[in-house]
Amino acid sequence: EELLIGFWEIDGEHSGENLAEVVWETLVLLQVLEHSVIAFVMDNTSNNDTMVKALQAEFEGRNINFSACHSRLWCMPHTIHLA
């Protein structure tokens, strides 16, 4: 099952730090931090790697278990298209 939880305009460049800020604000807005965030599915751009690492720092700062290396999943159709 899929659910689009937000579609926000990002001010400035689409750096991992800026993306993480928008994602974190969305998670706070929707009050899902007390629930388990399992993974993020995205393409393989480096700014997405930076984003999940920045999110890991936010989660860790609130004693919420989250691993950037285990919670970053690649979009299968995008990966196949690149191959």
Asked if residue 4 belongs to a domain, the reply is no
Asked if residue 34 belongs to a domain, the reply is yes
Asked if residue 11 belongs to a domain, the reply is no
Model pLDDT, residue 19: 93
Beta strands in 22-71 (DSSP E): 40-42
Asked if residue 55 belongs to a domain, the reply is yes
pLDDT, the chain, mean = 84
Asked if residue 66 belongs to a domain, the reply is yes
Model pLDDT, residue 17: 94
Asked if residue 24 belongs to a domain, the reply is yes
Which of these, 73, 75, 68, 33, lies nearest to 52 by C-alpha position?
68
pLDDT tens-place string over residues 60-78: 999 988 888 888 877 777 6
Asked if the model's pLDDT at residue 32 lies above 70, the reply is yes
Which of these, 49, 39, 65, 57, lies nearest to 15 by C-alpha position?
49
Asked if residue 51 belongs to a domain, the reply is yes
pLDDT tens-place string over residues 12-26: 999 999 999 999 999
Domain that holds residue 58: 16-82
Number of domain units in the chain: 1
